[in-house]
């Protein structure tokens, strides 16, 4: 049953009548169990009880005098062999998570810069600059002269300047200039203004080497600086330059869940993060010669589906239906109808090769830096990515010929809308002639929208499948909080039917529903992939600049959350939210919980430094309550907590703005 056909039951579970979005996963898990194939949920269960020292961040193995673990109490060891306390150990471990997360986003960004440079210099066949307006916008952000220069020259200079951000040794990152003035002052005062992306990451590795930085305060400042180098550096560069290359997303209608796999067609699943090759795969899937080859093999065509953030990239720009998120990768393979799964970097489980071998699927790795035993490797030829895409699809056609007869595809999909970039929100709210955040701000000031929450990040088998995301988002929209979402959380929301305009009437509070219905948007806005969390920073900055809601990001009735986080990238994202002034609630587990001083600094001390701090709450409904409480505090501080005339910007009102 499609998500749009569901009936409201208000239990926050996302359950719908008949087979629901979660049942599709259960069908696959039962099938895998019958086939004797293990899955991520079983493996997660088998890890219990998890190591307490590791969970609480108080195991250190950075030198060979250890590993050391801290056992508090009378006979316990209060320090490691070298004398490092639990706080130092936990802070160092935490910083290394940020370094890894920032490195992943930023290395992705580096390859986008290289692609743009190659395209601008005419070295890449079949790729063209799609968004000329964005070239001009980014050139202005970077202080690049435009004049009458050819667009490709400007684009090449953008790519070179962006590449320069990685190796910069001093000064300030270019995109940091976009932040509100007050925020920049805070960063400078706290000594956390990022200099160069690579420099900050390397400095974490140096500071956390045995015997270097032992002060929690000093360590956590470098953590904040590196995370900012991710959010306002690597991630923002990736987002903006990908928009130049592939086009800024616009609202697009699609479907999601395992039912988008088409039994009659050759199914090619794109999985990972970098969009260059997946863009080419989408283009090649329409190639007449390949269509003929697929038909000759007995298929009714070629079907592309996505998993994880590659899914979000091709969804946002082409409406390609996502099969699912992180936890769906094995389930998709277990349908037996996936002919080839093409993977690049990040969030691809090594287990896919084992599962694929049981279901006749080819796993094809394509990145120079990511190889798996048991997979085929077809390295992307940067000068001819289209040809690489053709080879991969042909591999799928070959596999289709030997596909087993018994495939198991649950006929479950949900309809939804994605493609809410900052530019789109601006346009949808303000209209063509005067794009503006004014209607959003006015509705927040008037009380119809209580506030905004960015609910983002991975999903985690320790919590079941998507339930924390769905429960938290439903609780927030029920309380008139507009939800912005990215990454796997966005795909959870889409699957549960929360990203359809109809969800406003079904699940949102009266105020939020009235605004969504007037503008024609869902109460949960899908804004893209993990690197696109930078779109949230830009949207929040636009709200500050619009006026009426304070003069810094920390003044806004705004919060962030990752109720099912799993990867180190999520920690980097959460920390750049906090250092940008956005209160952030994580679920699942807290990586420094065994170290009181470090945790206190993250949950409290950071509030004095950055005007925002972390919180940990494993229960998603209680996590939503923390967010609502925070939003209400901010409303009070802004003096907009009292009932005021509510402003609804309908079409007539929006026309008045022009």
C-alpha–C-alpha distance, residues 321 and 123, integer Å: 31
Q: Identify which range of 15-23, 57-65, 492-500, 561-569 contacts ligand MSK by CB under 6 A.
A: 561-569
Nearer to ligand SF4, 62 or 363 (CB): 62
Nearer to ligand MSK, 302 or 308 (CB): 308
Nearer to ligand SF4, 87 or 293 (CB): 87
Nearest to 531 by CA among 205, 251, 256, 310: 310
Residues between 82 and 101 that touch ligand SF4 (CB under 6 A): 82, 84, 89
Backbone angles phi, psi at 621, to 5 degrees: -70, -40
Is residue 222 within a helix (H) or strand (E), and if so which, with residue range? helix 216-229
Question: Under 8 Å CB-to-CB from 249, ≥6 apart: which residues?
Answer: 243, 316, 317, 418, 419, 420, 421, 424, 528
Q: Identify which range of 48-56, 284-292, 473-481, 567-575 contacts ligand MSK by CB under 6 A.
A: 567-575
Does residue 62 touch ligand SF4 according to CB under 6 A?
yes
Q: Among residues 113, 156, 269, 458, which is the contact residue for ligand MSK, using CB under 6 A?
A: 458
Question: Under 8 Å CB-to-CB from 199, ≥6 apart: which residues?
Answer: 167, 168, 169
Q: Among residues 60, 99, 228, 482, which is the contact residue for ligand SF4, using CB under 6 A?
A: 60
Residue 281 beta carbon to ligand MSK: minimum distance, rounded to whole angstroms: 18
Residue 82 beta carbon to ligand SF4: minimum distance, rounded to whole angstroms: 3
C-alpha–C-alpha distance, residues 474 and 548, integer Å: 27
Does residue 326 touch ligand MSK according to CB under 6 A?
yes
C-alpha–C-alpha distance, residues 269 and 280, integer Å: 13
Does residue 329 touch ligand MSK according to CB under 6 A?
no
Does residue 487 touch ligand MSK according to CB under 6 A?
yes
C-alpha–C-alpha distance, residues 96 and 103, integer Å: 10
C-alpha–C-alpha distance, residues 266 and 479, integer Å: 44
Q: Among residues 8, 43, 52, 61, which is the contact residue for ligand SF4, using CB under 6 A?
A: 61
Q: Identify which range of 61-69, 249-257, 445-453, 478-486 contacts ligand SF4 by CB under 6 A.
A: 61-69
Q: Per-residue contact track with ligand MSK, 283 to 312, x per CB under 6 A? A: -------------------------xx---
Question: Under 8 Å CB-to-CB from 447, ≥6 apart: which residues?
Answer: 511, 640, 643, 644, 646
Nearest to 169 by CA among 142, 206, 194: 194
Sheet of 524-526, strand order:
524-526, 481-485, 451-455, 558-562, 583-586, 614-616
Does residue 124 touch ligand SF4 according to CB under 6 A?
no
The option from ligand MSK, ligand SF4, none interacting with 347 (CB < 5 to 8 A, set by class) reads ligand MSK
The option from ligand SF4, ligand MSK, none interacting with 81 (CB < 5 to 8 A, set by class) reads ligand SF4
Nearer to ligand MSK, 88 or 239 (CB): 239
Nearer to ligand SF4, 67 or 374 (CB): 67
- Residue 246's Cβ-side half-sphere holds a number of Cα atoms within 13 Å equal to 26
C-alpha–C-alpha distance, residues 357 and 100, integer Å: 30
CB 363 within 8 A of CB 356: yes
Does residue 352 touch ligand MSK according to CB under 6 A?
no
Backbone angles phi, psi at 546, to 5 degrees: -65, -30
Does residue 613 touch ligand MSK according to CB under 6 A?
no
Nearer to ligand SF4, 68 or 559 (CB): 68
Does residue 569 touch ligand MSK according to CB under 6 A?
yes
Residue 73 beta carbon to ligand SF4: minimum distance, rounded to whole angstroms: 18
The option from ligand SF4, ligand MSK, none interacting with 308 (CB < 5 to 8 A, set by class) reads ligand MSK
Question: Under 8 Å CB-to-CB from 48, ≥6 apart: which residues?
Answer: none
Residue 518 beta carbon to ligand SF4: minimum distance, rounded to whole angstroms: 57
Does residue 166 touch ligand MSK according to CB under 6 A?
no
Residues between 173 and 212 that touch ligand SF4 (CB under 6 A): 210
- Beta bridge partners, 558, equal 452
C-alpha–C-alpha distance, residues 281 and 200, integer Å: 35
C-alpha–C-alpha distance, residues 569 and 575, integer Å: 10
For binding to ligand SF4 (CB under 6 A), which residues are involved? 60-63, 65-68, 80-82, 84, 89, 210
For binding to ligand MSK (CB under 6 A), which residues are involved? 273, 308-309, 325-326, 346-347, 457-458, 487-488, 529-530, 566-567, 569-570
């Amino acid at each position: 049953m499609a998500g749009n056909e569901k009936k409201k039951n208000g239990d926050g579970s996302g359950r719908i009548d008949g087979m629901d979005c979660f049942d599709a996963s259960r069908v696959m898990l039962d099938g895998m169990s019958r086939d004797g194939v293990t899955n991520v949920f079983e493996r997660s269960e088998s890890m219990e009880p998890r190591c307490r020292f590791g969970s609480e961040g108080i195991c250190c193995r950075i030198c060979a005098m250890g590993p050391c673990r801290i056992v508090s109490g009378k006979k316990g060891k209060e320090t490691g062999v070298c004398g490092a306390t639990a706080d130092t150990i936990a802070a160092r471990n935490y910083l290394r998570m940020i370094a890894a997360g920032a490195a992943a986003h930023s290395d992705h960004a580096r390859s986008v810069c290289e692609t743009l440079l190659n395209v601008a210099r005419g070295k890449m066949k079949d790729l063209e600059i799609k968004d000329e307006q964005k070239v001009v916008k980014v050139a202005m952000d970077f202080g690049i002269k435009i004049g009458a220069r050819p667009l490709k020259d400007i684009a090449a200079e953008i790519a070179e300047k962006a590449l320069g951000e990685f190796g910069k040794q001093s000064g300030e990152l270019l995109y940091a200039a976009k932040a509100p003035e007050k925020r920049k002052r805070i960063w400078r005062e706290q000594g956390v203004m990022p200099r160069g992306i690579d420099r900050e990451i390397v400095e974490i590795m140096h500071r956390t080497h045995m015997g270097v930085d032992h002060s929690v305060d000093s360590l956590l400042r470098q953590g904040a600086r590196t995370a900012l180098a991710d959010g306002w550096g690597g991630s923002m560069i990736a987002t903006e330059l990908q928009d130049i290359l592939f086009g800024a997303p616009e609202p697009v209608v699609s479907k999601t869940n395992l039912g988008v796999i088409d039994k009659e067609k050759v199914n090619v699943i794109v999985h990972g993060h970098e969009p260059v090759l997946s863009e080419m795969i989408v283009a090649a899937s329409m190639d007449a010669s390949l269509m003929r080859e697929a038909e000759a093999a007995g298929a009714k065509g070629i079907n592309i589906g996505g998993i994880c953030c590659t899914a979000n990239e091709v969804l946002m720009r082409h409406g390609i239906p996502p099969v699912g998120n992180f936890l769906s990768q094995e389930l998709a393979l277990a349908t037996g109808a996936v002919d080839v799964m093409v993977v690049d970097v990040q969030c691809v489980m090594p287990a896919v090769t084992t599962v694929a071998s049981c279901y006749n699927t080819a796993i094809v790795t394509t990145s120079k830096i990511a190889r798996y035993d048991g997979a085929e490797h077809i390295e992307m030829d940067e000068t001819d990515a289209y040809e690489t895409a053709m080879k991969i699809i042909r591999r799928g056609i070959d596999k289709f010929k030997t596909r087993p007869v018994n495939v198991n595809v649950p006929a479950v999909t949900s309809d939804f809308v994605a493609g809410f970039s900052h530019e789109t929100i601006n346009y949808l709210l303000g209209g063509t002639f005067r794009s503006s955040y004014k209607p959003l701000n006015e509705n927040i000031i008037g009380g119809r929208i209580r506030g905004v929450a960015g609910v983002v990040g991975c999903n985690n088998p320790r919590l079941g499948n998507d339930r924390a995301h769905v429960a938290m988002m439903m609780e927030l929209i029920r309380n008139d909080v507009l939800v912005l979402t990215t990454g796997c959380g966005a795909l959870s929301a889409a699957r549960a039917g929360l990203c359809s305009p109809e969800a406003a009437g079904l699940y949102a509070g009266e105020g939020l529903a009235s605004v969504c219905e007037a503008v024609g948007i869902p109460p949960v806005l899908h804004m893209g992939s993990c690197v696109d969390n930078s779109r949230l920073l830009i949207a929040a900055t636009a709200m500050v600049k619009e006026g009426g809601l304070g003069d810094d990001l920390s003044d806004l009735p705004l919060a962030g959350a990752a109720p099912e986080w799993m990867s180190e990238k999520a920690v980097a994202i959460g920390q750049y939210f906090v250092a940008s002034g956005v209160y952030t609630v994580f679920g699942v587990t807290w990586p420094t919980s065994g170290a009181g001083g470090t945790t206190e600094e993250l949950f409290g001390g950071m509030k004095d430094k950055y005007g925002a701090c972390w919180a940990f709450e494993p229960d998603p409904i209680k996590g939503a309550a923390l967010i609502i409480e925070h939003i209400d505090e901010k409303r009070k501080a802004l003096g907009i907590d009292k009932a005021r005339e509510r402003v609804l910007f309908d079409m007539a009102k929006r026309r008045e703005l022009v």
